[in-house]
Amino acid sequence: MIILGIETSCDETGIALYDTERGLLSHALYSQIEMHSEYGGVVPELASRDHIRRILPLIKQALDSAQCRLSDIEALAYTQGPGLAGALLVGASIGAALSFVLKIPALGIHHLEGHLLSPLLSTPSPQFPFIALLVSGGHTQLMQVDGVGQYRLMGETVDDAAGEAFDKTAKLLGLGYPGGAALSKLAEKGRLGQFNLPCPMINSGDLNFSFSGLKTAVLTLINRQEMNPQVCADIALAFQEAVVTVLTKKSLTALSNSGLHQLVVAGGVGANQRLRQHLAKKAASIGATVFYPQLEFCTDNGAMIALAGALRMQAADKLDDLSTGSFTVRARWDLSQTMQD
Ligand code: KG4
Ligand code: ZN
C-alpha cells in the first residue's frame, strides 16, 4: 500500500510517500525557519499561509521523485495535532480533499506518535517494546512504547521543553531562532568547567524534567559576567552539559525501571551530537542500545507521518471508515488519547 504523509503542524511543510512493501519512496520538505527567524519565533498566521503556498508543489515533487502518479496513492495520513490550529488545517484539508477525490482512506496522526516511531524508518530499527525519549521544541517526555498505539507516559517536563530551553537560552546568548543547533555549535568552542549550571530535578526520584530554572540561571550568569565570545561559548557548553546530563540520567533510569534495553531518541533535540555521545557511552555501560531517526527525520517531516499512518492502517480492522471526507484538527491533544486496545 502506498501512503502519502502530510505534516504541517508548525513551521515545516513535510510530504512523503511510503510503501508498506518497499519502505520510504520519497520525501520533500520546506522549512519556514528563515521567514520566522526575523520575528524571533513562529508567527502562526504566516506559517499557515506559507503551508498553503508550499503544499501542492511539494506533493508534486514527492510524486515525481518516487515516479508515482496521484492515482497510485492508496491511503493518506496527515498530522491532526497537536500544533498550530491554522497550520494543521492546511494539511488536514488537503488530506481530506485528496481522500474524497481519490476515494481513499485518510487518517489523522498524532504528531508525537510520528516522532516516536520515526527511528523505525532506519535500519537497524528497534523492536517493540522500547523506551522513547521525545525531545522536541514543544515536548520532553519519556514513554514506554509496547507497540503501535500502545504508549505509556513515564515522565515529562513540568515547564519548558528541552528544545524550548535551548531556543530561549540561545536567544539570551544572541543567537538566532530556533537556536538549538546554533547553541550546540557554539558550545564546541566552550571550555568545560568554566561555569557550572544546576541539573534541575536530577535527583527528584521520578522521571519528570524541569528546564525553565536553567534558563533563568543562564540569565543570572549573563548579567554577572563581562560577556565576550569565549564566555558565550563557555556558557553555551555549561547549559548543554546540564541538559544532556539530566536527559541521560532520566533515560537510563527509565530503562532500568522498565527492564528494557532499547532507547529511542526522537524530536529535534535528538540531533544534538553531545547528547548522542553521552547517551551512547552511558547506555553501552548498562548493555542498552540507542536508536535515532536519520538526522533529516529528527526534526519535523512527512516521512514519520506516512510511516505512523502505514503502521496504524496495517493494525486497523477496516479502512472504509477512514474515508469520510470530513476532518478535524486538535491543536491540543494528549498522546494517551490515541491508545489502541
Ligand atoms: O521536533 P522539532 O523539529 O519540532 C517540534 O516538534 O518542536 O524540534 C525542534 C527543536 C527546536 O527547539 C530546536 O532548537 C531543537 O529542536 N534542535 C536542537 C538541535 N537541533 C534542533 N537542540 C539542540 N541541539 C541541536 N543540534
Ligand atoms: Zn515535532
Classify strands 23-31 and 12-19 as parallel, antiparallel or unpaired: antiparallel
Please give the distance, rounded to the nearest whole angstrom, from the Cα atom of residue 18 to the centre of ligand 1. Answer: 24
Return d(Cα 196, Cα 237) in angstroms, integer: 10
Low-confidence ranges of the chain (pLDDT < 50): none
User: What strands lie across the sheet with 289-291, from one edge to the other?
Assistant: 150-156, 140-147, 130-135, 262-266, 289-291
User: What are the CA-CA distances from residue 226 to residues 97, 197, 220, 232 (Å)?
Assistant: 57, 17, 12, 10
Place of cell 523505525: 120
Q: Name residue 68's beta-bridge partners.
A: none
Q: What is the pLDDT of residue 326?
A: 74
User: Using CB atoms within 10 A of its CB, is residue 147 exposed (0-12), middle (13-18) or buried (19+)?
Assistant: exposed
Residue 294's CB is within 10 A of a number of other CB atoms, namely: 13
Helix (H) or strand (E) holding 264: strand 262-266
Which residue's C-alpha comes closest to atom 13 of ligand 1?
180
Ligand positioned closest to the Cα atom of 160? 1
Please give the distance, rounded to the nearest whole angstrom, from the Cα atom of residue 101 to the centre of ligand 1. Answer: 36
With a 6 Å cutoff on the Cβ, whether 167 touches ligand 1 is yes
Classify strands 289-291 and 262-266 as parallel, antiparallel or unpaired: parallel
Ligand positioned closest to the Cα atom of 109? 2
For 233, the grid coordinates are: 561559548
First to last CA, the chain: 24
With a 6 Å cutoff on the Cβ, whether 163 touches ligand 1 is yes
User: Any residues with CB less than 8 A from the CB of 285 and at least 6 apart, and which?
Assistant: none
- Residue-wise pLDDT tens digits, 185-230: 999 999 999 999 999 999 999 999 999 999 999 999 999 999 999 9
Q: Provide Rg for the chain, Cα atoms.
A: 20
8, 12, 117, 136, best to mutate for ligand 1 pocket (most atoms within 8 Å of CB): 136
Three-state DSSP class for 339? coil
Return d(Cα 17, Cα 21) in angstroms, integer: 12
For 204, the grid coordinates are: 527528584
Question: What residues does the ion ligand 2 have nearby, CB within 5 Å?
Answer: 136, 300
- Residue-wise pLDDT tens digits, 230-247: 999 999 999 999 999 999
| Helices 180-187 & 273-285 angle (0-180, nearest 10) | 70
Taking alpha carbons only, the member of 150, 167, 241 closest to residue 11 is 167
User: What are the CA-CA distances from residue 281 to residues 70, 100, 223, 284 (Å)?
Assistant: 46, 50, 35, 5
Q: Is the pTM of this model over 0.75?
A: yes
Q: What is the pLDDT of residue 181?
A: 95
Atom nearest to 273 CA in ligand 1: 26
With a 6 Å cutoff on the Cβ, whether 140 touches ligand 1 is no
Q: What is the pLDDT of residue 323?
A: 60
Please give the distance, rounded to the nearest whole angstrom, from the Cα atom of residue 190 to the centre of ligand 1. Answer: 20
| Helices 229-258 & 162-172 angle (0-180, nearest 10) | 170
Identity at 251, one-letter amino acid code: S
Atom nearest to 138 CA in ligand 1: 7
Helix (H) or strand (E) holding 277: helix 273-285
Residue 119's CB is within 10 A of a number of other CB atoms, namely: 28
User: What are the CA-CA distances from residue 3 to residues 73, 286, 338 (Å)?
Assistant: 6, 38, 20
With a 6 Å cutoff on the Cβ, whether 14 touches ligand 1 is no
172, 269, 300, 305, best to mutate for ligand 1 pocket (most atoms within 8 Å of CB): 269
Q: What is the pLDDT of residue 318?
A: 66
Q: What is the pLDDT of residue 111?
A: 95
